[in-house]
Structure 1
Amino acid sequence: MIPEIDCQIGISVYSTKFPGIGGRIRVKPEDFQVTELISEKIKNSINDQNGYAVYKLKKKKIDTNHALSGIFRQKGIRLKSLGLKDASAITEQFVCSGNKGKSIESFSSDKYSLEKIGFVKKPLSKKDMVGNHFKLKISDCKNDLESFVEFDKILNFYGYQRFGSKRPVTHLIGKAILQMDFDRAVDLILSFTSSYDSKENNEIREKLSDRENYQQYFDQVPVQMDIERIVLKEMIEHGESVRAIRAIPISLRRFYIQAYQSFIFNQSLSAAFLDGENLFEAQSGDVCFDHNGIIGKYVKGMDQNLALPFVGYSYYKKTRFDFQISKILKQEEISPKDFFIKEMQEASSEGGFRQAAIHCTDYSSHGNVVEFSLSRGSFATILLREIMKPDDPILAGF
C-alpha cells in the first residue's frame, strides 16, 4: 500500500521489491548525519594564502539559514552556503565568504561551530557541491536491513520536504499562482490544514478560512508563521490577493512554482514506471546527463544517466515520456506556457531536466545503520522510503 501522503505529492509506486523493515528515523539528531561533498578540483584549489575564506560549518538542531544569521549577528560576517541542511540532523557543510580578505577565526556555540579551512580564488557556488554522504540510524525496525541490495533501482522522486512535509501545500500554492487564481493561493497559505499539524495551528487556520476574521485574529497568528503574517497584513491593509502574494519573498514564490513542477515530475516518473518504461538505463533518443552533469542526447558507450523533463514554459516534448507528461498536464488543466506568468514574470520558470534514477554510491549497512552517498538534488528520504516502506512516513520521521 502506498501511503496517502505519498499520493498527495505525486508518488504512487515503489521501484524495489524489498518488503520493508518499518521503523523510525530522526529519533535523535545523532541518528541523521549529513556530510556535504565538494568536487576534487575545488578541494585541491583551497589554499592557505588569500582570497575568499572557506569554512566548514557543523551544526545540530538548527537549519542552515538560522545558523548563518547567528554567525552574522555574532561575528559580523556574511557567509553563503552551497546547499540548505535542515535542523533535525547533525550536518557538516561548506560555507564561503563573499568578500576577499576578510575572515574570522574558528569558533563554536552550543548549536554550531565554524572551522576555517583556507581560501579560494573565487567564491564557491552550488555547482561546486557534488553531493552528500549520509549516515542514518533506523530505530524500532525489523532486523533485515542488511538484506536490502536494490539501491541502484530507486527512482529519483522529490522528497517530502519539497512540499512542506507535515503540511503538503507548497505545490498547490504554486498551481494556484500559475492559474493566476491569487485568491485561492492566499486561502491555501492561510487556511490549508493537515492532520499532522498542531491543534493550535489548525484552529487558527480554520478561523482564517473566513476573510471576515483576518483583522480579528491577526495578533493570534504565531510568530513562526511569518509568511502567513506577511500575507494577512497585506490583505487587511489593501484587500488585494495578487498584492499579498507579491509581498512574499521572491525566492519563496519561485519555490512554490518549483514545488508544483516537482509534483508533476513525481507523477510523470510514477506513470512512466507503471507503464513499463525502463527508467534505469538510457536508450537511443533519450536526453541524459554525463558524469559532469552536462546535458545532451544519448550516446552509445558513454557513461550517461537518463533524464526526464522538468516541465516549464520551454518544455521539450521529444522524449519517450511525453505521453505520460501530456496526459498529466491535461488532467491538471495546465499547459507548459502557463509557467510564463504574465502577472508575476519574476516567478516564471522555463523548466529543464532531472535525473530519472537515484545515483547511489558507497552504500553499506550494518545492524540498523545505513550509509551512502547521493548526488546533489537527490533525497535520502526517498532511498529510506524504499528500505522502510513506512505505513505513515510523517510519523516515521520523514
Structure 2
Amino acid sequence: MIPKIDSDIGILSHTTSFAGCGGRIRAKFEDFAVSEILDKKTIASLSSDGYAVYRLKKTGIDTNHALDLIFKKTGVRLKALGLKDASAVTEQYVCSMAQNKILPNYSDGKITLEKIGFAKKPLTGKDMVGNHFTIRIDGADQTLADFAESDRILNFYGYQRFGSKRPVTHLIGKAIIQKRFAEAVNLLLSFTSPYDSEQNTKLRQELADTQNYSKVLPMVPPQMDLERTILEQIISHGDPKLALHHLPIGIRRLYIEAYQSFLFNRTLSEAYQYGEDLFAPQQGDVCFDKSAKLGKYQMDDSQKLAIPMVGYSYFKKTRFDYHISKILEQEQIKPSDFYLKETQELSNEGGFRSAKIECSDFMVNSDVASFSLQRGSFATMVMREIIKPQNPLEAGF
C-alpha cells in the first residue's frame, strides 16, 4: 500500500522486492549527513585569483536561508551549486558572483564558511557531479544488511521538492502557469496538510479568509518569510500577480520546477505500472552518455535511459509520450503553457532526466547506510525503498 503523501506527489509504486527494514531517519541532525562531490577538473583548476569559492558547512538551516544570513552579515551574495535542506548536517560549495569579493572564514554554530580557492569563472551546478550520504536508520531491524537492490530504484523527485510536511509547491506552480495568480497566492498562504503542525494549520485556516490578512500578519512567524512578503504586498495593493513577483526569483522558478517534477513522477509511475522497462534503454530511446550528453541509444552499455521533462520545448518522439500525453490531458495542461509570455523569467523549456538512480559505493554498517548519488537525485528515494515507511513524514522523510 502506497502512503497517500507518495501519491500526492505522483509516486505510485515501489520498485524493489525488499520488504523494508522499518525505523526512521533524522532522529537528530547528525543522523543525516550529505557532502557535495565536486568535479575533479574543477578542483584541479582552483587558483589564487578570480571568483572566490567556499566550503559551506551547516546544520539545522537550509541553503537559501544560510546564504541570506551571510548576505545580511557581509553584504556579499554567494551562489550555491545545489540546495540542501535544514534537517541534516551538510557540506556544500558556494561561489562569489563578483571577482575579488573575498569573505573571511566565518562560523556561528549553525554555519561555517571556509575559502578553498578561486575559480576563473563562477561555478555552476555542472561543477558538482553528485553527493555522498551517510544516513543512520534509528530502529532499523536486522534485515537492513540484506538490501541489495540499489540498482533498481527509480529517479523520483523526493518529498522536499514539494514542501515535505506541506506538499503544495507543485500546486502553486500549476496555478502560476495557468495564470491563476489569486489561486497561487491562496495556496501559498492557506493550503493545509494533515502532516503540518497544529499551530501552522490554525494560522493557515485564518488566512483562508482574505479579510483576516491584516489581523494575522503580526502573528506570522519569522520562518514563514514568503508568506509575510505575500501578505504585506496583498495588503498594500491587492494584486496577486504583483505580489508573487516580489518573491525571490529562485523561489518562483522552484514552484514551476516542482510542477514539472510532479509530472515527471507521474510519468515514471504510469510507465512502470504499464510495464515499460525503465532500467535499460531500448532502440530509439534518448539516453545520457558517460559525459552526461544526450543522444539516441547506440547499443552502448554506458548509456543511461533519459525520460522527457515537460516544458515548452517538450520532445514528443519517445515511447513515453503515450503516458505523458494522458497525464497532461488529465491535468488540463499543454507543453506551451510553460512559456510564460508575461513573466518570461519563469518560462521553462523542459529537458530530460535519468530514469533510474545511479547509486554507487553503497554500503551498510550496522544501522548506517552510505552511498553516492548523481547530482539531482534524492537520497530519500533510496531510503524509501530500504525502509518502506507506512508514514514517511513520521519516519523522518
Q: Same fold (TM over 0.5)?
A: yes
- Partner-residue secondary structure (3-state), 1:36: strand
Correspondence for 2:369: 370
Correspondence for 1:66: 65
Instruction: Supply the distance in 2 between the matched residues of 1:345 and 1:102 (Cα, whole angstroms).
Output: 30
Q: CA deviation at 1:205?
A: 1.2
Correspondence for 1:33: 33
Residue pairs, 1:295-374, within 5 angstroms: 295-301=294-300, 303-374=302-373
Q: CA deviation at 1:58?
A: 1.8
- Partner-residue secondary structure (3-state), 1:37: strand
Q: CA deviation at 1:126?
A: 1.2
Q: Does 1:113 align with 2:115?
A: no
Q: Structure 1 pair 115/171, CA: closer, same or farther in 2 (3 Å)?
A: same
Correspondence for 1:147: 146
State the one-letter code of the partner of 1:55.
Y
Q: Does 1:21 align with 2:21?
A: yes
Q: Structure 1 pair 175/69, CA: closer, same or farther in 2 (3 Å)?
A: closer
Q: CA deviation at 1:65?
A: 2.8
Q: CA deviation at 1:243?
A: 2.5
Larger mean CA deviation between 66-75 and 315-324 belongs to 66-75
Larger mean CA deviation between 288-297 and 230-239 belongs to 230-239
Larger mean CA deviation between 272-281 and 70-79 belongs to 70-79
Correspondence for 2:56: 57
Q: Deviations over 1:304-361 (max 9, x none)?
A: 1101110011111100001111011111111111112234333221111111000111
State the one-letter code of the partner of 1:19.
A
Q: Does 1:290 align with 2:289?
A: yes
Q: CA deviation at 1:162?
A: 0.5
State the one-letter code of the partner of 1:143.
Q
Correspondence for 1:45: 45
State the one-letter code of the partner of 1:34.
V
State the one-letter code of the partner of 2:375.
R
Correspondence for 1:95: 94
Q: Structure 1 pair 218/101, CA: closer, same or farther in 2 (3 Å)?
A: closer
Correspondence for 2:2: 2
Residue pairs, 1:179-258, within 5 angstroms: 179-258=178-257
Q: Structure 1 pair 59/313, CA: closer, same or farther in 2 (3 Å)?
A: same
Q: CA deviation at 1:75?
A: 4.9
Q: Structure 1 pair 211/73, CA: closer, same or farther in 2 (3 Å)?
A: closer
Q: CA deviation at 1:114?
A: 2.6
Instruction: Supply the distance in 2 between the matched residues of 1:75 and 1:211 (Cα, whole angstroms).
Output: 37
Correspondence for 2:386: 387
Q: Which runs of 5+ in 1 are unaligned?
A: none
Larger mean CA deviation between 251-260 and 237-246 belongs to 237-246
- Partner-residue secondary structure (3-state), 1:383: helix
Matched positions, count: 397
State the one-letter code of the partner of 2:268.
L
Q: Deviations over 1:209-239 (max 9, x none)?
A: 1222223322222232222222222322322
Instruction: Supply the distance in 1 between the matched residues of 2:60 and 2:111 (Cα, whole angstroms).
Output: 9
Larger mean CA deviation between 207-216 and 101-110 belongs to 101-110
Instruction: Supply the distance in 2 between the matched residues of 1:132 and 1:142 (Cα, whole angstroms).
Output: 26
Q: Deviations over 1:43-83 (max 9, x none)?
A: 22223x33333222222222223333444444554432211
State the one-letter code of the partner of 1:43.
I
Q: Structure 1 pair 321/222, CA: closer, same or farther in 2 (3 Å)?
A: same
Instruction: Supply the distance in 2 between the matched residues of 1:201 and 1:20 (Cα, whole angstroms).
Output: 32
- Partner-residue secondary structure (3-state), 1:100: coil
Q: CA deviation at 1:121?
A: 2.4
Q: CA deviation at 1:144?
A: 1.2
Instruction: Supply the distance in 2 between the matched residues of 1:183 and 1:107 (Cα, whole angstroms).
Output: 42
- Partner-residue secondary structure (3-state), 2:300: coil
Correspondence for 1:133: 132
- Partner-residue secondary structure (3-state), 1:358: coil
State the one-letter code of the partner of 2:113.
L
Identity of aligned residues (%): 58
Instruction: Supply the distance in 1 between the matched residues of 2:313 and 2:298 (Cα, whole angstroms).
Output: 23
- Partner-residue secondary structure (3-state), 2:343: helix
CA RMSD of aligned residues (A): 1.7
State the one-letter code of the partner of 1:344.
T
- Partner-residue secondary structure (3-state), 2:142: coil
Instruction: Supply the distance in 2 between the matched residues of 1:346 and 1:119 (Cα, whole angstroms).
Output: 29
Q: CA deviation at 1:247?
A: 2.8
Q: Structure 1 pair 53/28, CA: closer, same or farther in 2 (3 Å)?
A: same
Q: Structure 1 pair 188/71, CA: closer, same or farther in 2 (3 Å)?
A: closer
Q: CA deviation at 1:107?
A: 4.1
Q: CA deviation at 1:170?
A: 0.6
Correspondence for 1:124: 123
Correspondence for 2:155: 156
Q: Structure 1 pair 79/239, CA: closer, same or farther in 2 (3 Å)?
A: closer
Instruction: Supply the distance in 2 between the matched residues of 1:321 and 1:73 (Cα, whole angstroms).
Output: 46
State the one-letter code of the partner of 1:358.
I
Instruction: Supply the distance in 1 between the matched residues of 2:234 and 2:108 (Cα, whole angstroms).
Output: 40
Instruction: Supply the distance in 2 between the matched residues of 1:100 and 1:387 (Cα, whole angstroms).
Output: 45
Instruction: Supply the distance in 2 between the matched residues of 1:317 and 1:156 (Cα, whole angstroms).
Output: 20
Q: CA deviation at 1:105?
A: 4.7
Instruction: Supply the distance in 2 between the matched residues of 1:229 and 1:74 (Cα, whole angstroms).
Output: 21
- Partner-residue secondary structure (3-state), 1:334: coil
Q: CA deviation at 1:201?
A: 1.4
Correspondence for 2:173: 174
Correspondence for 1:277: 276
